[in-house]
Every structure is written in structure tokens, then in C-alpha cells.
Chains A and B, each alone.
Chain A
């Protein structure tokens, strides 16, 4: 998988949604470890997701 394909296919989003077939998942992982831009996308999306969870739980408690 190359960068343009990863962007076009929204691979980071599919990865986080667990929508990639095993082969595609491995291809994306191989790419993301080598591509700082996709790595940033993935890290930010994951952090945002966790942060949203923390914010939601904080809201629920208050």
C-alpha cells in the first residue's frame, strides 16, 4: 500500500473501525510504520477517540 492509496481508501479510518481484511490490515501497518504522515493521522485519531472517552466519562461523573 502506498500513501495515496492509504489516503484514498481512508485506510486509517478503516483500520480503527476494524474494517480491513487481514491482508489489507497488514499492508496498511507496513505502510504506516514507514509513513510519518499516516502515522500522525493514526495516532491523532486514536488519541482523539480515547480522549473523547475520557471526556465522556468525566462528564458522566460530574
Chain B
């Protein structure tokens, strides 16, 4: 990951971003990706950047490291795509991206362990911030809508979500304090998620290859 990358795979969603529709992750999609179709490539990078960042946030300590692993994952993916002229199982492109990312992550851990042992100061990396998610939902209208969704929840549920996700308190301790179990917390998150999802699709659009929810 220390080598120079040939290009930067960047993705910045906008509030009025148009939604791209594709048939599916299939041979035609991969063919367009291989041929360098800019719309397909933008969709691919946008779709998987979000998933990779969610995955990597639970494993890496800094946004810099997350971006590094994302970039390397895309670089290797496209290297394989161009070297082999396609993928053997186009419909499993997601699983392939995930597997490339796992390999890159392992190498990152090895490199990090090696450099940590050489780092006399042992300075910790800056904590991860969820910049991309905030970018996605940066539009004031969405924030207001989500705030409204939260305000519509009973006070206890609202306080519960705040304690878990905003204050990041220990889950078991929070459950004890509110007199609920972990199942309740999960169901509450599920209900809130359904509300968020409806609003998210309305504002940002469904970027799935089928666009089934758009």
C-alpha cells in the first residue's frame, strides 16, 4: 500500500445526485466496467466505497488507513479485471471485492505491526470519523427528517438510541439502565432503520444494480 497508485478512485455523493440504473451485476455490467464506461465505473466505485467504508470502520483506526485500503482494493480489482479481461463469475463481483479487501486488510495489519514496532513514539492514529456517511446525509432536509423520526419515537426509545449510538455507552449497561434486553434494542434499531431507509431511498436513491427500490 506504500506504492504509488495509478489513479484515485474517488466518490463524492451530492444531495441531488442522480440514480444510475443497471440491469444487475452481470456479464454486461462487468463488460462495461472492463471497457471503461464512465457511468458504470462511477456506479461501481460509489456502491462499493460505501460498503468498504462500513466494513473497514470496525477494523481500522483512522480515515487515512480506511481510504488507503479502499484505494488499494479498487486498484487490485481493476488490475485483475484488465489482466483477465473480465471475471469468471460476474454475478459474484461483490464477493470478489470483499475478498480482495480482506487480502489488502491482512497486508495492512502486517505493515502496521511492523511499523508500530519501529515507531518509538507510538502515537495513536486519529480516530475514524464517518465523513462519508455525513456527506451522504449532509442535506439539511434529511437531517431534519431523521430528527423528526427520532422525535416521533417515545422518549425512552430515543434516549436508548442516543445512549448506544451517540454516547457510545456500554450496551449491556444501557439495557440494564432502561430495563430492556438486547432483543429490544435490536428491534428498536430495526424499526428506526426502516424509517431511515424509506427516507434514504427518497433522498439519495437506491444505487443497487437493479435499482429495485428506487
Contacts and interface: CB of A to CB of B under 8 A. Distances in A.
A53 to B, nearest CB: 5
Contact of B182 (A19, A35, A44, A59): A19
B201 A17 contact: no
A22 B189 CA distance: 21
Contact of A43 (B51, B58, B143): B51
B213 A48 contact: no
Contact of B186 (A13, A32, A53): A13
B95 A33 contact: yes
A interface SS class:
helix
A54 B143 contact: yes
Contact of B193 (A32, A39, A44): A44
A10 B144 contact: no
Contacts of B136: 43, 47, 50
B interface SS class:
helix
Interface string A2-35: 0000000010111011110000000001101111
A60 B206 CA distance: 31
Contact of B185 (A17, A42, A58): A17
Nearest to A35: B94
Contacts, number: 132
B161 A52 contact: yes
Interface string B48-83: 101100110010000000000000000000000000
- Among A42, A48, A56, the one with the most B-chain Cβ atoms within 10 Å of its Cβ is A48
Given A17-B186, A52-B146, A32 B161 contact: no
Contacts of A58: 143
Contacts of A45: 189, 192-193, 196-197
Given A39-B51, A51-B142, A53-B166, A19 B186 contact: yes
B200 A34 contact: no
Given A50-B130, A51-B196, A39 B208 contact: yes
Given A33-B51, A47-B136, A51-B133, 9 more contacts: A19-B182, A37-B213, A44-B201, A46-B133, A48-B192, A50-B130, A51-B146, A54-B143, A56-B166
28 contacts: A13-B189, A13-B193, A18-B58, A32-B51, A34-B92, A34-B98, A36-B210, A37-B208, A37-B213, A39-B94, A39-B208, A41-B197, A43-B50, A44-B197, A45-B189, A45-B196, A46-B130, A47-B137, A47-B196, A47-B200, A47-B204, A48-B149, A48-B195, A49-B196, A50-B133, A52-B146, A52-B161, A56-B162
